[in-house]
Amino acid sequence: MESVGKIKDMFKQMRDPVKLVVFTDKEEMCPACNETLAILESIMQYTDKIMLQEISLISEKEEAAKYGVTRAPTIIFKDFGIKYTGAPIGLETAPFIQTILMASTGETPHGPLVSKKLEKIKQEGNLIVIVTPTCPYCAQAVLLENSLAIISPKVNVEIVESYENPDIARKFQVTGVPVTIVNSKEKITGIPNLAILINKLVADESNLDLMYG
């Protein structure tokens, strides 16, 4: 995680509240659920602009079903198409915090040309980025893709922690990370090139189901 001083400085920039929903399974052995809650509680010490709702996959099944969530831990950015399947731990904590900041301010590293290009997406584009907590390059991929979801409501991003969800990694035949799956059918290994990624989202207007069981 970033240093305390740096986190405080970052959260001073927050403007609008950020609504997060965290899905847990405390009835079963879920160490990652505890880690996720600990990270969220730690972050919330530094700002009152994070609104957190916790939903149990066991005792609140119907509520979880409304979000289509079946795995714990999962974190959803309620007002954006951003979903974390697995805990944002290790090297993934920093980009998670930076995503919260982007969600609050609406500011991303991109200029108006990126926004204009994303407006050409006719149907929702879906990205799955598969990561591990120790991957030195995953953070950059996550921030890049999350920023597109901040800009455009037509971009959905799911960050999957592969150690906790090995079946998803196996399904997409992931042998190294980061890996990005575009609309459930095209795989990009490494940090995606921004222009190429946007072109794939714009050109591929199919709305494919991302369900993996």
Name the residue range of residue 105's domain.
Answer: 4-203
Strands (E), the chain: 18-24, 50-56, 74-77, 82-85, 125-131, 155-161, 179-182, 186-189
Per-residue pLDDT band for 211 (boundaries 50, 70, 90) equals very low
Evaluate whether residue 208 is within a structural domain.
Answer: no
Evaluate whether residue 92 is within a structural domain.
Answer: yes
pLDDT tens-digit series, residues 88-147: 999 999 999 999 999 999 999 999 999 999 999 988 999 999 999 999 999 999 999 999
Evaluate whether residue 93 is within a structural domain.
Answer: yes
Rounded to two decimals, what is the model's pTM? 0.92
What burial class does residue 129 get, using C-beta atoms within 10 Å of its C-beta: 0-12 exposed, 13-18 middle, 19+ buried? Answer: buried
Whole-angstrom distance, CA of residue 105 vs CA of residue 79: 13
Evaluate whether residue 212 is within a structural domain.
Answer: no
pLDDT at 212 over 60: no
Evaluate whether residue 162 is within a structural domain.
Answer: yes
What local confidence, expressed as pLDDT, does residue 136 receive?
95
Evaluate whether residue 38 is within a structural domain.
Answer: yes
The CATH number for 87's domain is 3.40.30.80
Domains held by the chain: number: 1
Evaluate whether residue 165 is within a structural domain.
Answer: yes
Question: Which of 136, 41, 32 lies closest to 94, judged by CA?
Answer: 136
CB atoms within 10 A of CB 122: 10
Evaluate whether residue 193 is within a structural domain.
Answer: yes
- Bridge partners of 22, per DSSP, are 54, 75
